[in-house]
Chains A and B, each alone.
Chain A
């Protein structure tokens, strides 16, 4: 299987400390029902189709220029990714760097391993955003920081909404905690699904018990994935963000240390 990259986003201030370049890998073994990057679930090249932009020019074969057909998934040599990353190198000085995201970067371990080595050789800070569906010590011990979601504490609910075991994810996080790499634990908050105080409290307690967890944060749901799913010919259920009052109350569980 060749590693496909969905896209590379520059100047992100949401995916780790400082100004970061985020590499989105295509392919993820999870199937979160609210996924905000549904184009990064399949490991295959896909086309997103936005009919409202189509002018019916009949030139689809020579490459769409209207933005109606967007191909997602490119093979990009490691060297080329590094070149793109380095274009913003001067802005990383305030703690920024690269974040490997997706999709699931750990599902592309061979490529990701090589990319991390190349980035570290350039003294670029590397963070990984992973579901921790698996424990890949070789990769995890090399990165500068790990960001992992604990989405739902209840196992049954986790299986229902995420598609795999939440307990396994927490086990993997516990193992990763022994590596001495700073960890950030995050919970996407979806109204009526996991915005109950018990879920957040248990997750916060779990995060707090980790020796290397430097931060626990809540990420309110947004419907960014809905349009993209539709463009892929799939339907994604529209969820809701938590009420402002609920979120405000839950925020007391966030911490930075």
Chain B
């Protein structure tokens, strides 16, 4: 094994849980109040400049791509300073010097086309024509950020020189100011910029790296044609680049872990949140964007790595059109590599249906499986909030915008909406039309929530747009439009969106089926009895709970459950499109229909009562688009067929964990079978899949002897987890996924 791969693997396995990017904390502490009198864009640029001027710039003798950050375990005195820093409301993150610019994508084509110097010249040119003070500060801040980046790159160049890495040093000197000309230079620049964001600026960055196979291809093909680069050399560069992404990871699980079992974002900004790297897909003409570089990026995936998450944009027929690439990807998938597949045809159809016209084919996925329109889209929950833009907002706005209207807890618990509908229906004593009425009551609750959500979002955006230049975030420095408008992307992007997820989809479908089967068709129980039992967490009524549990389930490819799934998702998405339309036309704001619940299925489950599908109070719900654990009685094909009852082009995201027993698909024949299975699912319109290929027995053994199983990787939601670093609840949930 090459030393860079070994080092990255070891970092994932053995990095101490309390490892901390201490230099960042110490340096930010030095200048905590130094720039308080400046407008935020300058406070940001100067704080960043101080940080980048003083952090270590280490180089290892085997670095092909240069750029590392340092973290370490702290002694008592250092720990004291760290604790004081994170508790202080004046720290760089709390005071607003640094705003999260995460969960976004940069305009990577622009970055590699202009280079740091070119982007700076552009900002200076724009500044020369600007008279507005706020905009001038915004642009001045951006110019200073470019300068800080240039200096930082030069510092690495010096380190590389001292380490005897002449070629690397020359590349760094070049990209410190000039636009890259070679593949190696372009990849080097991409990494340094990602490093600054992920290791220093943004807590929980989940930066999207765009489609490097597309934006780096001109560099690669030029180098190959001129003989400046071989295919093997390109692979070595890409592998080293992947290694670098793993070195900046922390340990643990960011949503369910705590500071006892996790590194946390305060200690290592990137923590366990990966970067998303997209490959393949279609271009603006709808034709394949796959090229030779797509294969190289795929070949270089190291299965034991967590980072980056490779998002393969599948398009119908890709398996046949690019058979060799598909085989490479399938081999990697069956090794539980950190990768996922999204279907271009579905995602693009959703965006087009919403009315998105620009950059539809440059959509991205980031975070924990959210789709975005790409460079021209801002996720409402990412970036600074309205309070940062407009602290002096009206009392009325404050009243609304302080509500946790976007996500937890309001966006959770659609099973709760179902139960409310059930209880009301039980009191109505209907003689007929029960299922129609249940559907009507449920959808009324859903619609009420969705319409409130988008109205609050609109209000939020309006407030942000009152002072769009007040804030500068790192993302702005890498978006043409932000520099042109001298406005923060979170206020002025062309499109603004928020995921609108059908939470606990499988549980809701299963609950409809259970009522239909047990109350209406079999008459095993009355609606009142069922409602009472659910309210009481099935206390003293285990028979009824099991009857509910063993009713037909979404995921088994049953006709009734498939029909309810289709009916529910259609009604939901129709409404999401309908309610978004006026906001989209007015503000470019819309809700992105999805089946995404991240790992909230566990947190929300913990806090929720029993549900009609036989789930006890406190138990996890189904995750994302996946059927409830134990529901896929008819194997993977049954599960895929159930998922295919969700009409193509209705939701843009929603992770489907495909858990595969390695014995079922071993050898070349197994690979062929699996490739065919997955391609068939996608060619029939399947939206998403990510594969964990581990055995249930190994996972159980790992719980007993974690140290011997540090190599086990499983797909969690958007990201991969080191199984033994997940919290116990999540581990148990992953194991339960593997039940038939």
Contacts and interface: CB of A to CB of B under 8 A. Distances in A.
A11 B638 CA distance: 8
A111 B107 CA distance: 64
A66 interface: yes
B533 to A, nearest CB: 14
B739 interface: no
Contact of B684 (A19, A57, A90): A90
B424 interface: no
Contacts of B637: 10-11, 19, 87-88, 91
Contacts of B670: 13
A93 interface: yes
B543 A55 contact: yes
Interface stretch (B375-383, B568-576, B673-681): B673-681
A18 B543 contact: no
A66 B634 contact: no
A67 interface: yes
Interface string A87-120: 1101101111000000000000000000000000
Given A87-B641, A93-B676, A59 B635 contact: no
Contact of A65 (B546, B672, B680): B546
A87 B557 CA distance: 9
Contacts of B664: 13-14
B543 A90 contact: no
A197 interface: no
B669 interface: yes
Contacts of A12: 635
A171 interface: no
A94 B637 CA distance: 14
A62 to B, nearest CB: 8
B443 interface: no
B216 to A, nearest CB: 34
Contacts of B641: 87-88
Contacts of A93: 676, 680
A11 B678 CA distance: 12
A9 interface: yes
Interface string A16-57: 011100000000000000000000000000000000000101
A97 B672 CA distance: 15
B665 interface: yes
Contacts of B549: 65
Contact of A17 (B635, B638, B669): B669
B676 A91 contact: yes
Contact of B546 (A66, A88, A96): A66
B680 A91 contact: yes
B284 interface: no
A94 B672 contact: yes
A90 B546 contact: no
Contacts of B680: 90-91, 93
Contacts of A19: 637, 673, 676-677
Contacts of A62: 524
B542 A94 contact: no
Interface string B333-375: 0000000000000000000000000000000000000000000
Interface residues of B, number: 26
A65 B524 CA distance: 11
A11 B542 contact: no
Contacts of A13: 664-665, 670, 673
B541 to A, nearest CB: 10
B550 to A, nearest CB: 5
A31 B637 CA distance: 33
Interface string B500-535: 000000000000000000000000100000000000
Contacts, number: 66
B343 to A, nearest CB: 15
A66 B543 contact: yes
A59 B684 CA distance: 43
A11 B635 contact: yes
Which applies to chain A's interface (DSSP): helix, strand, loop or mixed? loop
B523 to A, nearest CB: 11
A95 B680 CA distance: 13
Contacts of A90: 680, 684
B5 interface: no
B547 interface: yes
Interface size class of chain A, counting residues whose CB lies under 8 Å from the partner chain: 20 to 34
Interface string A53-95: 0010101001001110000000000000000000110110111
Given A11-B634, A11-B635, A11-B637, A18 B546 contact: no
A87 B559 CA distance: 11
Given A14-B664, A17-B669, A93-B680, A9 B635 contact: yes
Nearest to A9: B635
A87 B641 CA distance: 8
B546 A55 contact: yes
Contacts of A67: 546, 550
A18 B542 contact: no
B676 A18 contact: yes
A55 B664 CA distance: 34
A55 B731 CA distance: 28
B636 interface: yes
A48 to B, nearest CB: 15
- Scoring A14, A59, A94 by chain B CB atoms within 10 A of each residue's CB, the highest score goes to A94
Contact of A91 (B524, B542, B677): B677
Nearest to A17: B669
Nearest to B641: A87
Contacts of B547: 65
Contacts of B634: 10-11
Contacts of B673: 13, 18-19, 94, 96
A10 B636 CA distance: 8
Contact of B543 (A9, A14, A59): A59
Nearest to B678: A91
Contacts of B640: 91
A11 B636 contact: yes
Contacts of A91: 637, 640, 676-677, 680
Interface string B635-651: 11110110000000000
A189 to B, nearest CB: 16
Interface in A99-151: none
A95 B675 CA distance: 12
Contacts of A87: 557, 637-638, 641
Nearest to B636: A11
A59 B522 CA distance: 14
Contacts of B557: 10, 87
B676 A55 contact: no
Nearest to A12: B635
Contacts of B669: 17
- Scoring B640, B641, B669, B673 by chain A CB atoms within 10 A of each residue's CB, the highest score goes to B673
Nearest to A20: B673
Contacts of B636: 11
A227 B438 CA distance: 42
- Scoring A13, A57, A94 by chain B CB atoms within 10 A of each residue's CB, the highest score goes to A13
Nearest to B633: A10
A93 B641 CA distance: 16
A246 B634 CA distance: 35
Nearest to B675: A94
A90 B665 CA distance: 18
Interface string B456-476: 000000000000000000000
30 contacts: A10-B557, A10-B635, A10-B637, A11-B634, A11-B636, A11-B677, A13-B664, A13-B670, A13-B673, A18-B676, A19-B637, A19-B673, A19-B676, A57-B543, A62-B524, A66-B543, A67-B546, A87-B557, A87-B637, A87-B638, A88-B637, A88-B641, A91-B676, A91-B680, A93-B676, A93-B680, A94-B675, A94-B677, A96-B673, A96-B676
Given A11-B677, A67-B546, A96-B673, 16 more contacts: A10-B637, A10-B638, A11-B634, A11-B635, A11-B636, A11-B638, A12-B635, A13-B664, A13-B665, A13-B673, A19-B637, A55-B542, A87-B557, A88-B638, A90-B680, A91-B637
The 6 closest A-B pairs by CB, nearest first: A11-B635, A94-B676, A11-B637, A57-B543, A65-B547, A88-B637
